[in-house]
Structure 1
């Protein structure tokens, strides 16, 4: 199976989640690993988070920040408790990831957010690097999503992004050896030709510029601008 080939079924997984700092809602237990933002699952539009490094303190902090903006947040732990600060180890974790199961777990999380919020609840998915690519994949496989926000992540050509129906807000760095400017331009044009509502922003920064735990690439001003755009976009699309 190709890393991004997703089985037709989107049934929920059966693995048991580890202990959480913030308890999982009943609808997520037994179907997805992760951590809720520190808003204790208040009613409100929902968002899910993804990252290449795993569910580390940085991602947990972002989830908490977004929860303070009034959203119900669930940071999906696709590595099931494993995190790393080493790029080589992150590559190994990524290589071991079961992408079909990951897609199912993400769909389980977004379904649970809808269930938690009740009828009419709107849900978005956001992600960084590998998580950004998975965010766009989620837009393909979950037609009920109301917004997708990829940060410097692009899925391979085998993923038909023209099937996305949710509005897309993309954040990309001009200095990026993976999501190169040419790839970003091609993705944007593909989405626009398919009439997918897409708003792309390009920052004079390096890949992972949002990550304040990596001073060698962190760009505070660009990160602040990307955060404001993200929060404004989510409020506009989710309520």
Structure 2
């Protein structure tokens, strides 16, 4: 890993941690990276490092406060135990900490999330619309997180697998319709042979072609929209 763990404060004085990766040149536009249901595992840290390699200053807040797992049952328990009020505090604290960091050159951030984090990416863009100028959702899901889409100001980029049993194509179409009906800018890419977690190269569902295509679109989208 090229980055490091840092601590940041929330508005109510609590202290949380996250993984920060900075470009080799020392500064760049800010991106918040949001974890899958496993926790702040190495894969998410590597996404931060990859973004830093392309010039972004990336921060992944630890939404589980130090807990992580490789058990689906435990991951489901951790995800369902995630309180939305505390999650909002963590997200706001992370965004403010990143924008205040001298390595961040932008006045707003992009949010990039996977699985649980994909839904949190939408939530962050809706909860803090004046601080988020780009929102990326990789197959986002959480039954209790319902972002107020009407509040989103940032353009939304979504990536989904047609074989995903958790985020079905019906759910994808409904999300796209809701964004369109609310007058939001939303571009979705769906991959016919891809399953849930297709971007995670440590997961059995990893789909190299889909992941590489999504990465290209992601980099361009962030470069064009983080301001």
Q: TM-score range by the shorter chain?
A: 0.7 to 0.9
Aligned-residue CA RMSD (Å): 2.3
For residues 6-43 of structure 1, give each alpha carbon's deviation from its aligned partner in whole angstroms, at most 9, with x where no partner exists: xxxxxxxxxxxxxxx61527778954321111548933
Query: 1:151-170 alignment to 2 at 5 Å?
Result: 151-154=138-141, 158-170=146-158
- Partner residue of 2:171? 183
- Rounded Cα–Cα distance in structure 1 between residues aligned with 2:34 and 2:148: 20
For residues 165-203 of structure 1, give each alpha carbon's deviation from its aligned partner in whole angstroms, at most 9, with x where no partner exists: 111000011111221101111110111111111111101
Give, in angstroms, the shift of residue 75 of structure 1. 0.8
Change in Cα spacing, 1:107 to 1:41, as seen in structure 2 (3 Å) is farther
Give, in angstroms, the shift of residue 160 of structure 1. 2.2
- Rounded Cα–Cα distance in structure 1 between residues aligned with 2:141 and 2:177: 13
- Partner residue of 1:234? 222
For residues 201-229 of structure 1, give each alpha carbon's deviation from its aligned partner in whole angstroms, at most 9, with x where no partner exists: 101210110111012x1100100000110
- Partner residue of 1:61? 46
- Rounded Cα–Cα distance in structure 2 between residues aligned with 1:90 and 1:57: 15
- Rounded Cα–Cα distance in structure 2 between residues aligned with 1:123 and 1:66: 13
For residues 107-154 of structure 1, give each alpha carbon's deviation from its aligned partner in whole angstroms, at most 9, with x where no partner exists: 111112222257852301111001101111111101121011010014
Task: Tell me which moved more, 94-103 or 122-131.
Answer: 94-103
Number of residue-to-residue matches in the alignment: 218
- Partner residue of 2:108? 122
1:110 aligns with 2:95: yes
Change in Cα spacing, 1:123 to 1:139, as seen in structure 2 (3 Å) is same
Change in Cα spacing, 1:27 to 1:90, as seen in structure 2 (3 Å) is closer
- Partner residue of 2:123? 137
Q: After the TM superposition, which parts of structure 1 deviate over 4 Å for at least 4 consecutive aligned residues?
A: 25-30, 117-120, 154-158
- Rounded Cα–Cα distance in structure 2 between residues aligned with 1:182 and 1:34: 34
What runs of 5+ residues in structure 1 fail to find an aligned partner?
A: 1-20
Pairing partner for 1:48 from 29, 32, 57 = 32
- Rounded Cα–Cα distance in structure 2 between residues aligned with 1:210 and 1:133: 16
What runs of 5+ residues in structure 2 fail to find an aligned partner?
A: none
- Rounded Cα–Cα distance in structure 1 between residues aligned with 2:113 and 2:25: 20
- Rounded Cα–Cα distance in structure 2 between residues aligned with 1:123 and 1:59: 17
1:125–1:135 Cα contact (<8 Å) kept: yes
SS at the partner of 1:159?
coil
- Rounded Cα–Cα distance in structure 2 between residues aligned with 1:194 and 1:49: 25
1:191–1:198 Cα contact (<8 Å) kept: yes
Change in Cα spacing, 1:102 to 1:27, as seen in structure 2 (3 Å) is closer
- Rounded Cα–Cα distance in structure 2 between residues aligned with 1:27 and 1:115: 12
2:32–2:59 Cα contact (<8 Å) kept: yes
